[in-house]
Structure 1
Amino acid sequence: MTTRIPRRATRVFYATESTTRTKPDGEVIRCAGREQRSTTFREARKFLDDLDVPGGVTLWTERSQQTSAYADRRADGTWVSLDRLTGNWVELPEQGQA
């Protein structure tokens, strides 16, 4: 599924699947899998929910030219979002309930 990102987009959400790999020495490392760019968090969330995988969503803004953590999908299917005021992760309601 591809999403067209407008040329002048001021915000872009990156949904990235989290996977693990085992190095030859037995160390397990976390790495990125499939990724999708979206113009809304709803599209990014749907991408990871449809894959039914853990992952994260980051947000790039045109004003700051930086990418920051926005939300994470855990292996059990729950979503948490970063509260910018407290720095804590808070659970998000299921999609369609908010």
Structure 2
Amino acid sequence: MSTRIPRNATKVFYATESTTRTKPDGEVIRCAGREQRSTTFREARRFLDDLGVPGSVTVWTERSNRTDAYADRRADGTWTALDRLTGTWEPLPETKEGQS
């Protein structure tokens, strides 16, 4: 499930599975699980959907050389994306079969 990222890519999407662990004192912490780098959001979204797990997608851009939040997948399979203009998380539409 790995994707070859071209050396001259200007944008890279990181899909990361969210998992939880319980510390010896009983505290539950959130940590990262499997991860995939993709050249498109569609590939990153498909990775988490195929796993059927909650997770997040971040995007790195060459221009700013920063990694920013892009979208989240909840445990129930719904997606939300960050609207950069308003700073709010908004639901993403469901993908149709074959379009993911």
TM-score under structure 1 length normalisation: 0.97
Residue in 2 that maps onto 1:65: 65
Deviation at 1:95, TM superposition (A): 1.4
Percent identical among aligned pairs is 82
In the alignment, structure 1 residue 52 sits paired with structure 2 residue 52: yes
Letter in 1 for 2:27: E
Residue aligned with 1:13, SS? strand
Distance 1:86 1:13 in 2: 22
Letter in 1 for 2:59: L
Residue in 2 that maps onto 1:76: 76
Deviation at 1:74, TM superposition (A): 0.3
Distance 1:38 1:95 in 2: 18
Residue in 2 that maps onto 1:5: 5
Over residues 17-75 of structure 1, what are the superposed CA-to-partner deviations in whole Å (9 max), with x where a residue is unaligned? 00000000100000000000000000000000000000000000011110000000000
Aligned CA RMSD, in angstroms, stands at 1.3
Structure 1 stretches (4+) deviating beyond 4 angstroms? none
Distance 1:9 1:22 in 2: 38
**Which 5+ residue runs of structure 1 have no aligned equivalent?**
none
**Which 5+ residue runs of structure 2 have no aligned equivalent?**
none
Residue-pair matches, total: 98
Residue aligned with 1:76, SS? coil
Residue in 2 that maps onto 1:85: 85
Distance 1:32 1:20 in 2: 8
Letter in 2 for 1:81: A
Distance 1:39 1:33 in 2: 20
Residue aligned with 1:4, SS? coil
